[in-house]
Amino acid sequence: MTIGDAVPVALVIAATLALTGPTARAAPSEADFQIDIGIATTFGTSAFPAVPNGGTATVASRDFLVGVRVRLIPAQSESATMRLELSDGLTWGADNPTATANCTGTTRTAECQTMPIRPDPAGDTEEHFGWNVVASRLGRFTVKAEIVAGSTPDPVLANNAASVAVIVAEFTGVGSGSVTAGGARITPARPKAGSIVSAAVRVLADGPPVRPTAVKCTGTLARSKLDGTPHAGRGTATCTYHPPRSAKGKTLRGTISFKVRTKGFMRRFSVRLG
């Protein structure tokens, strides 16, 4: 994907954001091709930071962005061919390498030809490629990129390849933004005595779902205590109850309490059992 492609605006922004990196240096007598990989999770106007070769980036979403910067510090106009490879478990998302961006690819690779890049007064210039990537699971993955061909020999090959680790981790809600919790939702909608009854609360932090902590459950049937089983999931706090058949016609009342960051929440519910 390049600036000229007719793609959704958000993806154009992601592909063309500048990767931060070393400052320009004087142009050598021969072209020096360089490559960097950048990882991000959101679109925006800030820099799309390059990860140092051999470094690690952590993202809090299985849907994230991978960018590649091909830098050329040439004595004259030159071009290069770049290849990007995703490890097992990563695939292209809504955006993928296309011929309109001078790219070909498979489900996990991209090979792209840069446009001829001309020297500027600072002695270097660059071209960017970027795509949406989706991880099949949480865990550790690898993204590799290399320059596989150039229009002129490169005297410095050490910077022609880069490899970074990407850790896809669950969002924990660490931060200082807003935390929201909905009301308790009962499943099934018409619970019956003798069957499992669940009460769940949807939890968000700074927008995305977040796993709560310290989930606790209370429950009563008439004047009798009914224990609930707590469970913390990504974006939900859940309490599961097993009312006996003898509870038909009675009302199950309970509370779900939990924490997100240091903030405590409690939600009450009441449901009549069929």
Quickly list DSSP for 198-228. EEEEEEEESSSB---EEEEEEEEETTEE---
In-domain check, residue 63:
yes
CA terminus-to-terminus distance, the chain: 57
pLDDT of residue 175: 55
Q: Answer yes or no: do 13 and 94 share one domain.
A: yes
Last residue of some domain: 142, 168, 194? 168
In-domain check, residue 3:
no
Strand, coil or helix: 169? coil
pLDDT of residue 127: 83
In-domain check, residue 148:
yes
List the CATH number of the domain containing 186. 2.60.40.1930
pLDDT of residue 46: 45
12-21, 29-38, 200-209, 244-253 — which is least confidently predicted?
12-21
Q: Answer yes or no: do 114 and 30 share one domain.
A: yes
Domain that holds residue 225: 179-272
Strand, coil or helix: 268? strand
Q: Answer yes or no: do 128 and 239 share one domain.
A: no
In-domain check, residue 2:
no
pLDDT of residue 173: 57
Q: How far apart are CA 138 and CA 62, in angstroms?
A: 7
Strand, coil or helix: 66? strand
Q: Does residue 18 carry a pLDDT above 50?
A: no
List the CATH number of the domain containing 24. 2.60.40.10
In-domain check, residue 51:
yes
Q: Answer yes or no: do 142 and 232 share one domain.
A: no
Q: How confident is the model at residue 166 (pLDDT cuts 50, 70, 90)?
A: very high
Q: Does residue 61 carry a pLDDT above 90?
A: no
Say how many domains are in the chain. 2
pLDDT of residue 217: 96
In-domain check, residue 208:
yes
In-domain check, residue 4:
no
Q: Answer yes or no: do 235 and 147 share one domain.
A: no
Q: Answer yes or no: do 59 and 151 share one domain.
A: yes
Return mean pLDDT, the chain. 81
Q: Does residue 93 carry a pLDDT above 80?
A: yes
Q: How confident is the model at residue 205 (pLDDT cuts 50, 70, 90)?
A: confident
The separation between CA 241 and the C-alpha centre of its own chain, rounded to angstroms, equals 34
Q: How confident is the model at residue 22 (pLDDT cuts 50, 70, 90)?
A: very low
Arithmetic mean of pLDDT, 233-261 = 92
Last residue of some domain: 148, 168, 188? 168
DSSP state of 158: T
Please state the φ and ψ torsions of residue 245, each to the nearest 5 degrees: -60, -30
Token pair listed for 9: 């605006």
Q: How confident is the model at residue 249 (pLDDT cuts 50, 70, 90)?
A: very high
pLDDT of residue 176: 54
Q: Answer yes or no: do 151 and 217 share one domain.
A: no
pTM tops 0.85, yes or no: no
CB atoms within 10 A of CB 17: 22
Residue-wise pLDDT for 167-197, tens only, equals 887 665 555 557 888 999 999 999 999 999 9
Q: How confident is the model at residue 223 (pLDDT cuts 50, 70, 90)?
A: confident
Q: How confident is the model at residue 84 (pLDDT cuts 50, 70, 90)?
A: very high
Nearest residue to 180 via CA among 207, 218, 217, 149? 207
DSSP state of 96: -
Asked if residue 105 lies in contact with residue 92, where contact means CB atoms within 8 angstroms, the answer is yes
Q: Answer yes or no: do 141 and 251 share one domain.
A: no
Last residue of some domain: 102, 136, 168? 168
Range with top average pLDDT, 72-76, 125-129, 154-158: 154-158
Q: Answer yes or no: do 32 and 123 share one domain.
A: yes
Q: Answer yes or no: do 164 and 186 share one domain.
A: no
